[in-house]
């Protein structure tokens, strides 16, 4: 039994909560240092990792089978940008920069090919693109496994700021994104 599952931990509210609920809890507990520390500095559970990987994995499956929409491409691009921010932190995990570069090249090539007509048309992927996107999901999953909750959300804020400062649109989770030429 881990310390977070003991009756003492449950009585003190030290049990894990879902990521979106945990963020609200962290904001509410800013004055309580011990509870804030416990919520920000714990690694993700397997359930939380699978929750964070569900959207990019579904996007990968759709792109791989030729049914990919622009929304799916945005999901894979988000995973890539978050992975780059985690890689750039240099204290969490290193060694995946080449994978993220290849994924970025593949995402740009897919977008250029799918929007050649002026609107989004699902396209088949080449073997190098399939490999790059598969490696992207592997690297992103490994980054999530070693990241703490606080590090991940700090890196996510960096990824959003970089995307916005480049003049690109930033979407929130759950938005249905349509391609705009």
The total number of residues shown for the chain amounts to 181
Residue 98 lies in a domain: yes
Mean pLDDT across the chain, nearest whole number? 80
Q: pLDDT value at position 58?
A: 93
Q: What's the total number of domains in the chain?
A: 2
Residue 176 lies in a domain: no
Residue 124 lies in a domain: yes
Do 2 and 90 belong to one domain? no
Q: What's the CA gap between 16 and 64, in Å, rounded?
A: 34
pTM reported for the whole predicted model: 0.74
Do 66 and 153 belong to one domain? yes
Residue 64 lies in a domain: yes
| Structural domain range at position 5 | 1-42
Q: What's the CA gap between 159 and 177, in Å, rounded?
A: 18
pLDDT in tens, 40-87: 788 888 998 999 899 999 999 999 999 999 889 989 999 999 999 988
Do 51 and 15 belong to one domain? no
Q: Distance from CA of residue 61 to its chain's centroid?
A: 16
Q: pLDDT value at position 23?
A: 57
Do 26 and 82 belong to one domain? no
């Amino acid at each position: 039994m881990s310390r977070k599952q003991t009756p003492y931990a449950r009585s003190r509210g030290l049990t894990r909560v879902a990521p979106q609920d945990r963020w609200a809890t962290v904001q509410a507990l800013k004055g309580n240092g011990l509870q804030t520390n416990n919520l920000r500095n714990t690694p993700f559970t397997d359930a939380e990792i699978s929750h964070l990987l569900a959207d990019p994995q579904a996007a990968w499956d759709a792109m791989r089978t030729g049914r990919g929409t622009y929304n799916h491409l945005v999901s894979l691009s988000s995973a890539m940008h978050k992975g780059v921010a985690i890689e750039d932190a240099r204290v969490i995990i290193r060694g995946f920069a080449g994978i993220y570069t290849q994924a970025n090249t593949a995402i740009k090539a897919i977008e250029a090919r799918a929007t050649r007509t002026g609107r989004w048309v699902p396209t088949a992927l080449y073997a190098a693109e399939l490999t790059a996107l598969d490696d992207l999901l592997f690297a992103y999953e490994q980054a999530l496994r070693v990241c703490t909750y606080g590090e991940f959300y700090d890196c996510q804020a960096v990824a959003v700021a970089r995307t916005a400062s480049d003049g690109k649109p930033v979407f929130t989770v759950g938005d249905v994104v349509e391609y705009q030429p």
